[in-house]
Each structure stands twice: as structure tokens, then as C-alpha cells.
Structure 1
């Protein structure tokens, strides 16, 4: 293995005249690691040829890449638990044969345990449900990448070179592709795998960004258009102690920024009253970090994961692929060039999403048997909706009516107005005792549930005890409370009364503390968290099934991308409880100012020559010394800071994907036009089979493209790699003039059907 750029060409024939297949992997991050793992595991398929691989990574951090760098700040965390991150293919991944021995394909948790036994480093002393620091994931990726490269290098018929440079162009030279790096070197290749990951937008390439960047340049105000790497963009020289920082965004990137500027500057968190953290400043942090976003609230806390295996993940009762197919048949619209009929997300799919959320919410609150009763009450209206009947989109009303009846009965029992036996005699369609026991356990906790069992035959004693039960969960102690409310779920903090910055900030603090209690209750026992996790995480694949590949009309697709990925990120893709406890402590301390509220924006003040963070709904206006854009932008080649995809488009090797509607409307969300095998479609409409593109560049046609491999789930990240691998080996065998091993191809074809 060599990290070098001294080999400008590949020799066409290999040793002893054996033909060489030249593979270039552009991007050396997680997907490159997974690709090399499968390449090394199946390298016997090289057959009579030789394989020469070059991996290009502009940062030189092979295996991890920039985002997962092992050198990044220790204050950034993954938002997955240790056991939920894989490093190689496992038994659940269709077509992944041969597999490595279990000890050669650890999960991140197993890798950490192995490394902790050797080093004793506390950051590696993790349980399966702990949330690892992001740099630990980067170290694991780099280590596994090196192992896979060494495995290939040990073969007499394979060679791997690592090129620490940025690829800026790929030229079609007829018989081969020419990979061009920023230092002017050219590398011929037969096949190219593009796994470049996320890259930021260049602010100068959009009207809005150009306005901000030009103001900053004109007045020499520090402006950070992309936060990473934090240790460079937000060093003490760039954001000195005591300054004020404006942070545009309140998602995961903003959380990284805030912790880097506080804990990363030497601040500490200590336990305070009521087990709440207290922040102790070091004096090296900014005086204030003004955080603002369209929603005006941080991403919600990820709940403790009590789903220990795939069998515990929620399976849709109403939101299923079969339901999507029925909607397409009844109300879908045929579109040119589409094999499926297009839907409108808000009109056709959101009602089913909300029904599923409400059902999960109330099943969590009242128990599985009562949940089946609720499903039966909701089903007639749901079936009519799938058949195309107009219901004004309100599928939840029958379910809510049933909840009203349940709440009335349980309230009477808890108040001593009706005995449990009498209530059970009147109600035979759902289990009163079971629903009551579940509600008490969820709302009041295990101690109250244990006490309840001894009071069921004494209505007066039960009423007296129930009035004294604590509410450690932060839920409403009324049975008629804790209702599912989509509007409040999306916007939990009201601004209807036009609160000032201080009142709004107090509401944010109160919600964050409540949200932490809900998260600590877990994704199986808190109704709010169960509904969000069960639908927007466990059933994310069903939503993708409805949306991807032009599944929505162009106007609806535009609306979906503008609105619902944000909802998904806030509801189901937030930070760990221990991370959000830190952010909450910083909000309480006043170092993080959240008073700007929804629709916050940054305006340049020509009079003062500085930026102001404006809160139009709260009246907030805060001057800041440094402005940070703490948002991750979707893929868009026209706005990308890196020139590669613009160069490919200019050469006609790629084109944007366009969603075409039946009425002639079209929407181009930004991602590339790719075949089912992830080959880009050229400007002339023909597939460029020598190129394969995985990851963010497919955004638009596909949704929810996360990069970290999930073990034990037949995860789509590895399935994409396996699809590429099959096409790559088939091309190799054609190039070297021999058939490939039939059993691999047959297995892959059979499992893709």
C-alpha cells in the first residue's frame, strides 16, 4: 500500500501478459471502506486478470474522509448507538457472499471493545447502547480500511495506491476514462466509483449566499459558510474568547458547533439539582452563541433505544407499501416515462402517515390489545380512503373518538366513580384493566403501576392514591391528555401571542427539559417518541417507497423536500440524550441564546458593518461578531464548492435528474440522473456504465441517503455497494475475456428479483 501520486498511468497488461483492470475510487470515506471490504472479500473473482485500484481522498484521511475524521473535535458525537454502526457486510445482507469470519467484521461496538482492551482509552469503553464520539467512528473506519487494503495488497494479482489529492475532473478518452486531480496529474481508469460524500455549497454561487459573503468581505466580518472542520473554521483565532457568534441552524451541525466552542474550549458540565447538568465556563468560550433556524428550536432528543433487535422495530399497520400501491391505483396520476402513478404527498400520503403515528402513540399509551381495538375503529375510513373516497384527509377522527371513550372510562375508574369490574362489564371490546395498567405505568411510572395492582378492588382507595402519584415522565396526568397533535409535534413552542425573546427562550428551555424526560423514557414507552421513532425511522423505507423515483408529482416533490426531511431530522434523527442534556444546560446558562424564535435570519447592517440575527416573530435583534452557517445543504452540482460534478456535467458524462409530471411540469431537485445500477445517464440519454455514483449525488431521485452502515438490517448502503460490485465484476470478466463465477451472479440475480 502506498500513499503516492507518482504513478501517472496504469500498465495496460499485467504481469506475464495478464490484462489489468484499472479501478478508480473517488472519495475515501465510509462508502469507500465498504466497497473495499467487499472487493477484498470477493477478490478471487479477479480470475485470469489483475486488479489495480486507486483510491483518491482529498483530505488524505483514507477510510474516514473529512466528515468522520479521526482528528476532529472530541465534542462531536454520532447520533447512533455503538451497536447500530457496522463496518462490513453481515448475514442479513442479500448477495453478500462470501462473508468474513465474525471477528473480521466487527460492529463499531465490538471494534471499540477490542481497542479498549489494548489501550484502556476511556472513549472506547462503551456499551452497545452508548453513543460514540464521531472521531471514534473515524478511527474505526480508518483501521478497517487499512486492513482491507492490506488484504488486497497481499494478493499477487492486486495492487492498491492511495492518492491524497482532490479529483476535479474525469475525461472520456474513448477507450478509457482519465481521472484528473487538482495538481494536474492524470490517471487512466477502466472503471470509476464516485463516493464523494457531502460537500458544502459555495456561497458565491447562489444569490442569497453571494449577498452574505459579499457583505462579510466588504466589511471584513468573520463568516464561516461551512462549519467543518471545526478545529480550523472555529479556532480561537477565528472566534476569539468573549466574542458573540451567530449560528444559523439548530440541527446536528449546530450542536457540533456549540459544543466545540464551549466544552471544546475547556468548559465542563457538572451534575446539579434534580440531576440537571450545570455548565461551568472556562473563560475561553464566546460570550454568547445566538442560535436561530426556521423552526426556532433544536432538533429533538433521540430516545433511548429499547428496540434491541430488528424484530422490535415497528411494522406498519396502516403505512405499508401495499397501501401506497393501492393509493397509486385509485388516485395516482400517470406521468411520462414513469412506471408508477404519481401521488401528492400532502393529500394522499400524509393522512396515512399521521394515522400511523396516532395509532402508535395511543397503542404505546394504552397497550397492544387496546391498540388493536383502535385500529379496528379506524379501518373503515382508512379503507375508503385507499379506495379513493374523499375524507378531507382526516383519518384520525374515528380513532380519536375511540380514545375519548377509553379516556372517559379510565377517568371514571381512577376517580372512584366506577369500579373496574363495572367498567369491564360495560366494555368488552378493549381490556379496561390492561389499558389502565399500561396508562399508569407510562404516565406515572413503575412504582405507581405496582401500587395500582393492590387497589383495583377498592375504588375509594384507588382514587385517593391516584391523586398523589408523581409524574416523573413529564406527561400529562389526565387520561384525556397526552393526545397526538401533528401541529404541536412539528411546532411545539407557540408564537401566536408574539412573545418577546425572553419569554420565547423560557418556552424553549421548558420544552427541551420535557423532551429530555420523554427521551429517557425510551422509544417503546413514551407515546410521543414511539410515534416519531416508529414511523419516521422504522417506516422510513415505506416513505421512500412512496417518494423515490418520481413517486410524487413535481409540485408535491418540491414541497416534500422543502418540508418533510426537516421534520424527519427533528423528530427522528436528533442527538443523544447526553448530548442534548449538555445543550439544554448551555441554554439555561445563557451562553446559548435561543430567543430569536422561528424564521430567524441573518441581516447585514451597513451602518454598523456587522451581522444581526433577526427573529421576526419574537422581535429579537442580536449583533454578532462571527457568523456561522451551521446547516448541511442538499447536493446541487451548480452550487457545490467542489468542481468535479460541474466538470462532469460540462463534458456530458452526467446530467441532472428531472421529475416529470403528467401536466408538463418538471422539478429538478439537484441529484444526478442514475440508472437502477447507479450509472449516470449522459447528456445524450445513454447510460455511462463505466461510472457508478453512490451517496449524496443520488439525492432528489432518492431520499434519506445516510452514509453509516447499519448491521443486522440488510442495509441499503451495503445493498448499493453490492449492486456496484456485481456490475464491476461482470465488466472485469468481459474485459479480461473470461466468464465470471456463475454462483455469484445467480445468487445476486435471484435475490434482486
Structure 2
């Protein structure tokens, strides 16, 4: 039985976040008692296909990999993520879908999908194209499930303008049509952005001297055939996008990797590769993920950086800082995991590992700053020859070292890459990778507790986002180990060279070429006529080039969140200003906007790690947080005006 007039919901953005909101709307509507369901119209607005959206298009190169294994992501609540939520009408995580499609392939799967599925396991890293196929399948199943009283319509165009109407909102579309919506959800995802001053200078200089500059972009959007063979190309950034550039310009050009007699990968070129000259602040790439059969290491158990411990600050009326209150707890767990793993691995630790572990926990439990002294005293007695772990120093492996020339630096980076691969292969037996695993586990805990004002503004900006975020991303958000092994092979084959830490990128007016140099590497500078900024456009609302978001900001329907720096100066932060969940937008005058909701990347000022997918089977208030956000928005919409 249907009651009341139709309720129309506009979801702007049909990628993973928009798909999650759509799924929650359908699943919650489906679970309503008879007689309480209003006819519901869901309108998804996105020029890209619903489900995968822009970033996860199934037609992109299969060389572009996810940086999480198959067992991790989900776009719908499954397992513990579904506790307390309406059951999903499409109850499949990516790994569930992978298993099902391997056994009973859907007709929509391509030959490439079937080939990848045949070799893909739960611990393997899927292509972004295959994950996009899962998202597409999920959306199609959602639409197919809809029964009488609920419809889903996709508008393959952009939303250009949003304005208050007499009842709800008027959404003007690029195809000339308009919708009058009772509620609007902004699930905008990755958006093009203005270049920063340094990038602006590189772009302008490229135009002046007829050079080729590729600004930050989604890798699948770039025409890689424009980069010539055998010519030097400067690559700025050694993060995740770098590996997409690297593999597209090597294996994507017909080259192949094969193990030598020692098992180390060798690269066999075709001659169509450019010379990639890469640089980043660290001077080295993100570290590889450990090879595990789970997302977080099974041997890692946090004892200090726990949800109850971090929430105890609020219970005491304290709004914590990061450096003073949270980092010391996580630091204990990271070091504890490192030395406990070392003690567990045969031949690497003390004579009596069990007794050492008891003493280790006792040292780390010492209150205040005294724990560090107690730990060092224990190590001096029990493990005097063991290498000490400088956690923050992991981000600067060559700190303070000078190199005579680029070749000396190249010869220093190669052993670093080889060692990183070896540590990844050791998996649970690697003290270093388990310490990084503890940091990653702590990141999930911290994300849960610091959301929605759980951290001081100054700590959020200069501590959590200022130094810890780059550290943990460089250590825990890296590629699968095979990408580091391939990078080492490319470096040995002369296809990749490294500039050095803290690089500077300029244009030499005399030669009319891009120049890259490192203050720590002497000798000849690297020059090229081509430069690629290997990074995504920055997620910063006020710098967005999205016509819709710019209009919303200019009209004052939304505003960026302003935080207070340590000196009391206001600072415009990256994300939009919103209420507490379900995250209604706040306008330029500080007023809550009824029935206008925000989810995903534009929540960057109230949530940390908004780009990370929901973790399958994780609790809804932890790794499944984005699914809880979608659930809260759907519940608010369906109960509005009831």
C-alpha cells in the first residue's frame, strides 16, 4: 500500500558514495511496514555510468590496480557493517561478488573480466576496472530489485545549479531540464581543481616554451600515447598515481616482466618506453603493502590506541590534541608490535620471548613520558643488537645524506626497494611491516574517534593532517609488493631514474626545458620537455572547478568549514561545513539547510580518510563508516515530512 505524494530525491554523483546512498534508500524503503511507504523517486545525476562513476569506469586500463586487496572493499553493508541496519537488497561485498562471478559468471562480464577473475584471489589486488564492474553490477541489481512504488532514474548529464524552491530544491541540469527535489544529496566525489601557484607556473611556462605539462588528473583520463618513446619525462610524485604512470608507460607499451634465476624481476623493454625521471619529497615511493590473508595483520592487537582509550578524553571533558594525547598511545602500539614481532621470529629476539613480551608490555604501560625510557632500558638488556625503530624517520630514509651524483642516489634507492619487497613477502614475520600494520590499525581507530569535532582545530590541521597523514599514507597506503618489484626492475633496466628528496621543479628560460633537482644530490640536473604531475586533483572545496560547487559557494547555499589555527587566525579548511550526522549542509550565514546532505570527499573537514572505501564486514562505526553515513542520510530523507 502506498501513502502520500511521491517523494523525489536527487543524488548528485553516481559513483560509490552515490550508489551507497541509493542502496540505503531502497533497502530502508523496502524494510518499511506496509502502509508507511510513500512512492519514492530517486534521480541519480552524473554524466558517468551509475555505480562506477568517473574513477572506477570498467573500460579503463586493467593495468590500473586498486591499493586494497579483494577482501577489503564494499559499497553495501555486509557482515558486521550491517548490524543494526536495514538488510541490504544487494548483500554482496566485492569479494562476495568476485566469488560468485568466478563460479557463475554474469553475461555482462567481458573477456578481460573473466580472465582477471580466474587468477584473482581474496588477498590479491584487483584492477580498478573490475571493481568498477562490481559497482555497475550492484547498481543494476538495485534497479532490478525495485518494486512497485519506487523508481530509479539516471540522468547522464551534469547538475549545473541548485537553488531553494518553494518546496525543496530546484536542480538545473546541463541538458536543459530541471528537477524539483524534496531532498538533495551531494555525493560529488573527485572534482577538477584549480592549480596551485607552482603548478600554474609550470603550466604557463610550458605554454611559453612549447613544452608538455600534464596537471593532476585521474590516470584513466590521460592520453598516454602523447608521451613519446625514448624521451625523458619528469614525473612529480611517487605516490599511488606514480605507479599508474610507471606501468602504463612500460608494460602498457608492450614490455614485460619476468623473474631471473634468483627470482628477482627483470624488465624486458620494447624500445617504446620513455625515460621516467621521478621525484618526491621523500625521494622514494610509498612502501608496499605486506602480503597477508587479511586486511589488517592477524598478529596485530592494539593495547593503547583503542576506541575506549581515545573516547576517555571526551569522558573527562577534554578535547584532545593529536601530538600530546593520541600519538603517544599509537606510538606505543607501533613500537610494541615491532619488538614483539622481532621476539616472535625465530633467531631474531631474546632467549625467552614470552618473558620478554611480559616485560615489554610492562614498559609500554609506564604512564607519562617514562615509557620511552623504560622501553630503551629493556631493549638494552634483552635485545642490545636489535635495530631500533624510528617511526617518524621511516618517511625520510635518506635524511641528512648527500649524494655525489644521480647514479650514487640510484644505487642507494635500489637496495631500499629490494628490501621493501623482501619485507612485504615476509608478511606477518616482518617486524617492520607489522609495525606499519599497527599504524594502519590505529588509523582506523583514530578515524572513528576524531570525526565530528573530536579533535582540536589546531591538532586537526597541523598535527593529524599536517605530519601524521603524510607519514601513515606513505607507509600504509602503498601499492601491492609487485609494483615495487617492478619499479626496481625498471630502474635496473634504465627506464626509471630518481632525482632525490625535496625536489625542485622549474623551467630554465635559457634552454626552454623543465628542470628537476634535489638539494641532496649533486651533479647534473635532470631536464625534459615533458612533465607529469602524478597526483589526483586536490580535494579542497574552495579550489574546485565544479560549476555546481562553485555556484553553491558563491550563492551561499553551502560554505567551506573555517577552523582556528593555533594563533587564533581563521583558516579555510578543505571540506564543507556541515551539521553532525546526517551531515546537512550549513549555508553562508551559518544556518542548517534542511534536506541538503553531503557525503564523501567533501566531508574532509569533519572526517579523516574520506577517500578510503568502506571495509567489508567492519563495524559501521569503524571501517564501514561511509555506509553508516549513507544509512543516516537515507533514514533522514525517508522520515522527513512523514
- TM-score, normalised to structure 2's length? 0.90
Residue in 2 aligned with 1:587? 491
Q: Is the 8 A contact 2:3 2:36 kept in 1?
A: no
Output the CA distance in 2 between the equivalents of 1:618 and 1:106.
Answer: 45
| 1:38 CA displacement | 2.4
Q: Does 2:159 align with 1:159?
A: no
Question: Residue 388 of structure 2 aligns with which residue?
Answer: 483
Tell me, in whole angstroms, the C-alpha distance in 1 between the residues paired with 2:211 and 2:357: 57
Check if 1:140 corresponds to 2:134.
yes
Answer with 100-109 or 696-705: which moved more: 100-109
Query: Counterpart in 1 of 2:243?
Result: 255
The number of residues matched between the two structures is 617
Uncovered stretches (5+) of structure 1, i.e. residues with no partner: 1-14, 331-339, 386-390, 409-479, 739-753
Which of residues 285, 290, 302 is equivalent to 1:303?
A: 290
Tell me if 1:531 matches 2:425.
no
In structure 2, what is the Cα distance between the partners aligned to 1:281 and 1:598? 28
Map of 1:455-604 to 2, 5 A cutoff?
Answer: 480-522=385-427, 524-535=428-439, 537-545=440-448, 547-560=450-463, 561-594=465-498, 596-604=499-507
Match of 2:117 among 100, 124, 129: 124
Aligned equivalent of 2:191, options 179, 189, 199? 199
Q: Deviations over 1:473-496 (max 9, x none)?
A: xxxxxxx22321224322123442
1:605 aligns with 2:481: no
Query: For residues 718 and 114 of structure 1, do their structure 2 counterparts lie closer, same or farther at Cα, with a shift above 3 Å needed?
Result: farther
Instruction: Say if 1:550 and 1:660, in contact at 8 Å, map to a contact too.
Output: no
Q: 1:556 to 1:104 in 2, by over 3 A?
A: closer
Structure 1 pair 47–653 and aligned structure 2 pair: CA distance change class (3 A): same
| Cα 1:100/1:20, change in 2 over 3 Å | closer
Deviates more, 1:93-102 or 1:710-719: 93-102
Give runs of aligned pairs for residues 739-750 of structure 1, distance below 5 A.
Answer: none
Q: Of the candidates 337, 354, 357, which is equivalent to residue 360 of structure 1?
A: 337
**C-alpha distance in 2, partners of 1:39/1:213?**
44
**2:270 aligns to what?**
282
| Superposition pairs of residues 22-37 of structure 1, within 5 angstroms | 22-37=8-23
Q: Does 1:636 align with 2:540?
A: yes
User: 1: distance between equivalents of 2:360 and 2:257?
Assistant: 45
CA 1:99/1:64 → structure 2, altered by over 3 Å: closer, same or farther? closer
- TM-score normalised by L of structure 1: 0.77
Q: Distance in 1 between matches of 2:516 and 2:402?
A: 21
Which has the larger share of strand?
2
Alpha-carbon shift at residue 728 of structure 1 (Å):
1.4
Distance 1:134 1:54, change over 3 A: same
> What is the aligned partner in structure 2 of residue 293 from structure 1?
280
User: Per-residue CA shift, 1:300-340, capped at 9, x if unaligned?
Assistant: 010012447x893733212234443556788xxxxxxxxx6
Contact 2:16–2:52 (Cα < 8 Å) also in 1: yes
CA distance in 2, matches of 1:184, 1:608: 49
- Matched residues in 2 for 1:295 and 1:116: separation? 44
Matches within 5 A, 1:75-114: 75-93=63-81, 94-100=83-89, 107-114=96-103
| Cα deviation digits, residues 527-564 of structure 1 (max 9, x gap) | 111011112x2121332356444444444333232322
For residues 697-712 of structure 1, the aligned pairs below 5 Å read 697-712=602-617
Gaps of 5+ in 2: 345-352
Provide the aligned C-alpha RMSD in A: 2.6
Say which SS state the counterpart of residue 169 (structure 1) adopts: strand
Whether the 8 Å CA contact 1:354–1:396 is kept in 2: the answer is no
Structure 1 match to 2:349: none
User: Quick check: which has more Rg, 1 or 2?
Assistant: 1
Q: Deviations over 1:27-59 (max 9, x none)?
A: 11112222222223233338352111111112x
Cα distance in 2 between the residues matched to 1:545 and 1:61: 31
> Contact 1:302–1:574 at 8 Å: present in 2 too?
yes
Q: Measure how far apart 1:665 and its partner are.
A: 3.7
Aligned 8 A contact 1:227 1:253 in 2: no
Residues 68, 683 of structure 1: CA spacing in aligned structure 2 closer, same or farther, 3 A cutoff?
A: same
| Partner Cα separation in structure 2 for residue 146 and residue 262 of structure 1 | 35
CA contact (8 A) 2:20 2:75 kept: yes
- Judging changes above 3 Å, is the alpha-carbon distance between structure 1 residues 109 and 21 closer, same or farther for their aligned structure 2 residues? same
Instruction: Give the match for residue 72 of structure 1.
Output: 60
1:67-113 CA-partner distances (Å, limit 9, x unpaired): 11111111111111112222422231233222448679863432442
The question of 1:686 aligning with 2:573 is answered no
Residue matched to 1:461: none
Match of 2:214 in 1: 224
Contact conserved, 1:170 with 1:179, CA < 8 A, in 2?
yes
Match of 1:180 among 172, 182, 193: 172
SS class of match (2:409): helix
Q: Deviations over 1:475-533 (max 9, x none)?
A: xxxxx2232122432212344234422111211111110010000111x2211110111
Contact 2:224 2:248 in 1 (8 A): no
Query: Post-superposition shift, 1:365?
Result: 1.1
Where do residues 273-422 of structure 1 align in structure 2 (5 Å cutoff)?
A: 273-286=261-274, 288-307=275-294, 312=298, 314-325=300-311, 341-367=318-344, 369=354, 370-380=356-366, 383=367, 385=368, 391=369, 395-407=371-383
- 1:81–1:17 distance in 2 versus 1, CA, 3 Å: closer
> Residues 546 and 17 (structure 1 numbering): CA distance in 2 closer, same or farther, change over 3 Å?
closer
* Pairing partner for 2:198 from 208, 224, 227: 208
Residue of structure 2 in register with 1:446 after alignment:
none
When residues 29 and 503 of structure 1 are mapped into structure 2, their CA distance, relative to the original with a 3 A threshold, is same
Q: Is the 8 A contact 1:602 1:611 kept in 2?
A: yes
Aligned to 1:149: 143
